[in-house]
Chain A
Amino acid sequence: MKLKQLESLLGDLQQFSQPKIELEQYPTGPHITSRMLYTAENSFGDVSNKVVADFGCGCGTLGVAAALLSAEHVVGIDIDPESLEIAALNAEELELYLDFIQSNVMDLEWRGQIFDTVVMNPPFGTRQKGVDMDFLHVALKVASQAVYSLHKTSTRDHVKRVAMRDFNAASAEVLCELRYDVPKLYKFHKKKEVDIAVDLWRFVPASH
């Protein structure tokens, strides 16, 4: 599938109708998602025929993108039932079969490095400090090949240090810097739209 085609299919997905600020629910746009998954597949071969998890999947955009790029099995995990309902509809609309689980990502118990690849756009931790790194910690335990994740560019040094030193990652590499446009979703947003700089990371977990 071509990048343009992927981006266009993702553009039709339904997003949060009433986003919840305490969960930092921001949709991952089709532009970012398509580039993230396309790179994972075409540069590294981490998607097609793989078992993929989408942590904090929200409305399922990343997981659906993985399935569109021929992931064999995709599991989306989110704590919010309303998001999962939308995610399930999004998958159904495209005739894709994804599994979804309602849970806190940090509370699930997996049988070892059972996923090939984890893709995620974790909460950036502006509401609940450090939660993005908590997600990353779990991801690096359950993935055998790679973890793709978005983190604020302003936290780049911290992310690298913690991933390598505390989470025992074999490598941590910024693939590119992207503009994440945050539309005015919440009342406290003063401006109509804000661009924040985010890094697309690829982490390789330590082999067990």
Chain B
Amino acid sequence: MRLLTHNMLSSNIKGVTNGFPLRIEAEKVVEKTVEMNADFLKKMFEKIQWKAFIDASRAMGYTELPEEVDPTTLESDEFLSKFHHALLELHLEEGALVCPETGRRFPVNKGIPNMLLHEDEV
């Protein structure tokens, strides 16, 4: 699972009101290189929740992203390549996503989060 997916997803347990972002427990992270698309990154930057994204990238062991960003940051190629790497090249292979409100763990195996709910959580 890439951090882009993580940034889109909330905890889905019944009754949870602040289910975003899911906390990441990383046991194994893999890197897979893909071509960079600057226009796509600029578009995604508008949609990404930055704070959640930085915290997630740190949980994955990547600490290169700046805390503060503004629209001019997007003009920097160096920034874009770091953003690209964290957003699309890091994959959570083994670990868990944890609901920030209830602490419920959703395991991630072979890169696939298991978000199936128990009967009393639907």
Chain A: residues with CB nearer than 8 A to chain B? 49, 51, 72-73, 75, 79, 81, 84-85, 88, 97, 99-104, 107-111, 114-115
Contacts and interface: CB of A to CB of B under 8 A. Distances in A.
Contacts of A73: 2, 4-5, 88
A99 B1 contact: yes
Interface in B9-29: 9-12, 19-20
B12 A84 contact: no
Contacts of B9: 101, 108-111
Contacts of B44: 51
Nearest to B113: A101
Contacts of A97: 2, 32, 34, 91
A88 B111 contact: yes
A111 B7 contact: yes
A7 B107 CA distance: 35
Given A102-B114, A107-B122, 13 more contacts: A72-B40, A73-B4, A81-B112, A81-B114, A99-B1, A101-B5, A103-B114, A107-B117, A108-B115, A109-B19, A111-B7, A111-B20, A111-B49
A49 B7 CA distance: 18
Top 6 closest pairs, chain A to chain B, by CB = A103-B115, A109-B10, A109-B12, A114-B8, A99-B5, A102-B114
B10 A75 contact: no
A73 B37 CA distance: 11
Given A97-B32, A99-B2, A114 B47 contact: yes
A115 B8 CA distance: 9
Contacts of A81: 112, 114
B86 to A, nearest CB: 13
A74 B78 CA distance: 25
Nearest to B6: A99
Contacts of B117: 104, 107
Contacts of B111: 88, 99-100
Contacts of A114: 8, 47
A167 B119 CA distance: 27
B4, B88, B112 pick with most chain A CB within 10 angstroms: B112
A130 B88 CA distance: 36
